[in-house]
């Protein structure tokens, strides 16, 4: 979560918010935050999902162990899931990609264009007109 905390200012600058949700208790979150040096800069909310309602709703609960997979869910202001990334337990998140996705969502909203593979801000987007399929 220290890595997420490091990109949190960039995410806030994109008018987005982070919620760290786990199946651990609120008490364990509190103790973890108070005792782990890597969490000293975490300022985003840590939410307990002890009932597994949230994890099941987003289909990220590993029913065999009763814990959520490492996942990132991107929800727009209207409550629509725009993207969901689920990572293996032994692979960390690619946080620059999270920031890029948020930038791409905003670019698409402002221009009406999609973004191609490996797009970065400052590059041109692509038309999403279906008549262009096979012509780009």
Q: Which fold has domain 2-92?
A: Glutaredoxin (3.40.30)
Separation CA 107–CA 38 (nearest Å): 33
Query: What residue ranges do the domains of the chain occupy?
Result: 2-92
What does residue 84 show for φ and ψ, rounded to 5 degrees? -145, 125
Mean pLDDT, range 29-40, rounded to an integer:
87
Separation CA 107–CA 27 (nearest Å): 40
Per-residue pLDDT tens over the stretch 44-79: 999 999 999 999 999 999 999 999 999 999 999 999
pTM (predicted TM-score): 0.84
Per-residue pLDDT tens over the stretch 91-119: 999 999 999 999 999 999 999 999 999 99
Separation CA 82–CA 120 (nearest Å): 18
């Amino acid at each position: 979560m220290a890595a997420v905390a490091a990109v949190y200012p960039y995410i806030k600058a994109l008018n987005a918010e982070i919620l760290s949700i786990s199946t651990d208790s609120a008490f364990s979150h509190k103790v973890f935050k108070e005792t782990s040096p890597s969490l000293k800069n975490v300022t985003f909310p840590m939410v307990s999902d002890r009932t597994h309602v949230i994890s099941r709703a987003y289909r990220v609960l590993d029913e065999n162990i009763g814990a959520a997979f490492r996942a990132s869910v991107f929800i727009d202001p209207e409550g629509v899931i725009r993207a969901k990334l689920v990572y293996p337990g032994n692979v960390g998140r690619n946080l620059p990609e999270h920031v890029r996705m948020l930038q791409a969502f905003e670019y698409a909203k402002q221009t009406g264009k999609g973004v191609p593979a490996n797009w970065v801000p400052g590059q041109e987007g692509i038309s999403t007109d279906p008549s262009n399929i096979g012509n780009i």
